[in-house]
Structure 1
């Protein structure tokens, strides 16, 4: 590969990568997954987070913030 090769868009995040994107801790990501607030897909035994589920989680947080205000 050359430096001119465009990087592929990431279509699935590991929970640790989702934590970085969301700027929260890894354990918080796993807690939100456990609670069903952050959805995932499974491939074998692995849990992965599509970017659209990260976006849906952020929208959920926004709705909760508006409801609390």
Structure 2
């Protein structure tokens, strides 16, 4: 439960926020979303990246390295 001292946990992120979390540029993030490597959803006219999609993407990268 949020007591007001921490920002709320967001379920979906903008492309820019998702790129920031991964530590990559916005252009690369758009490319990953366009290629279907990172899941995204449409909410009205907006494109958003589910926060857990970033975890799945990194898991996939780690699986490729093994």
Same-fold call, TM cutoff 0.5: yes
| RMSD of Structure 2 on Structure 1 (CA) | 1.3
* Alignment match, 1:46: 46
- Displacement of 1:60 in angstroms is 1.1
Where structure 1 has 5 or more consecutive residues not aligned to the other structure, the ranges are: none
Q: May I ask how many residue pairs the two structures share in their alignment?
A: 63
Structure-2 separation of matches of 1:44 and 1:30: 18
- Would you tell me which structure has more strand in proportion to its own residues? 2
Shift of 1:14: 0.1
TM-score scaled by structure 2? 0.86
Q: TM-score if structure 1 supplies the norm length?
A: 0.82
Which structure has the larger Rg? 1
For residues 1-69 of structure 1, what are the structure 2 equivalents within 5 Å? 5-6=4-5, 7-66=7-66
